[in-house]
A and B are shown apart, each in its own frame.
Chain A
Amino acid sequence: MKEIALLMIGAALVNNVILARFLGLCSFMGVTTRIDTAMGMGLATTFVITVSSMADWAVQKYLLDAYNLGFLRTVTFILVIASAVQFTELSVRKVSPPLFQMLGIYLPLITTNCAVLGVALLLVEGRMSFFSATLFAFASSLGYSLVMVIFAGMRERLALAQVPQLFAGPPIAFIVASLLAMAFMGFSGMSTG
């Protein structure tokens, strides 16, 4: 149980997908204007990252490794991710059409989210067991969602703040993001302390 906890804390906080690995920055800046939309996007991304990582692990072990096709990894993973997004879209549509109408907006955005591919490549390179790989992907995406929600909260407050004209909009958002990244650097001490 201790290994599971360490794996999850490491993936979510110490090596955060957005603030430590700088993946998924497009949605980080684009969909964080409100907390509720950031949470919706975070949950959808969590689902897609976890499901696609499960599929990527299986493809890597039973296809790419078995037939020595490692050079096709990136292309294959992109295909798997696109399929996972389609599967997610289909399943949400079947689970509840009203839900799909409300939440489906996030799904096309996830196809082009490099965090999904980044996590899949990281877990394959880590040579983890299936369960550890899935937990790693799940925790990474939880870290992604956490940062999205924190940043959205900060941007909601920024919208009410008096910001100099020169820094209004994206510039002040980038400054806040850098401060948040520095705050998250504090977690890196956990691995050495």
Chain B
Amino acid sequence: MLPDKSLVEGIARVVWIEGDQAWCEPEQTTSCGHCASTAICGGKDPGMGTIGRRLELRRFALDNPYALRVGDRVVIGIASRALIEAALIAYGLPLVVALVAGLLAERLLRQDSATLAAMLAGLLVGLVLAHVIASRFAERGVLAPRFLRRAAPFESCSGGSQQ
């Protein structure tokens, strides 16, 4: 079965159950194409900056009418359009504001230090704008991961089942 192109799928592992919610931790693909998880990369007490620590910070809650248990692997999905829009807001908007501020400073003042200050200020303004817009996104719930199915035993976080 071909994957649904409108969704970006990922695999997460249930790490604890709290009431009717299951807290999940995403398995991520490393640049080498292998899957990473706190179980592999972080040990029991992952230090600051390790992959395990980063994954812990990215834990999220899913409604649990599916009787998920700790250790279950699930496939989650998010609309790919929402992901791209979110990336444009988070990364693109601050950069564009910074570059416009820099261009104005370069044209008006023609000093490196003034351009540097203007771009830093622009970057901060852009981050604040991104924060406001991203908050509206979050209120609409478009960025919340959805449960799609339980992962097959050898299903890989890089997509498809490993043979």
Task: List A residues at the B interface (Cβ < 8 Å).
Answer: 26-27, 29-31, 33-34, 36-37, 39-40, 43-44, 46-47, 50-51, 54, 58, 61, 86, 89, 91-105, 107-109, 112-113, 129-131, 134-135, 138
Contacts and interface: CB of A to CB of B under 8 A. Distances in A.
Given A36-B8, A95-B131, A30 B87 contact: no
A99 B134 contact: yes
A96 B123 CA distance: 16
Given A31-B31, A95-B127, A101 B58 contact: yes
Contacts of B123: 51
Contacts, number: 135
Nearest to B99: A138
B161 interface: no
A135 B99 contact: yes
Contacts of A27: 31
A58 B116 contact: yes
Nearest to A129: B112
Contacts of A51: 123
B103 A131 contact: yes
Contact of B8 (A31, A37, A107, A131): A37
A50 B95 contact: yes
Interface in B12-61: 26, 28-33, 49, 51, 54, 57-58, 60
Contacts of A103: 83, 86-87, 90-91
Closest 8 CB pairs of A and B: A96-B134, A98-B143, A47-B91, A36-B80, A130-B112, A43-B91, A131-B106, A43-B87
Nearest to A105: B28
B30 to A, nearest CB: 7
A40 B130 CA distance: 16
Interface residues of B, number: 51
A108 B58 contact: no
B119 interface: yes
B152 interface: no
A40 B31 contact: no
Contacts of B102: 131, 134
B71 interface: no
Nearest to A36: B80
B87 A61 contact: no
A96 B135 contact: yes
Contacts of A108: 30, 51, 54
Contacts of B144: 98
A94 B103 CA distance: 27
Q: Which of A27, A97, A99, A112 has the most CB of B within 10 A?
A: A99
Given A95-B127, A99-B86, A101-B143, 4 more contacts: A94-B131, A99-B143, A131-B112, A134-B119
B94 A34 contact: no
Contact of B84 (A40, A97, A98, A134): A40
A44 B95 contact: no
Contacts of B51: 108
Contacts of A47: 90-92, 94-95
A97 B131 CA distance: 10
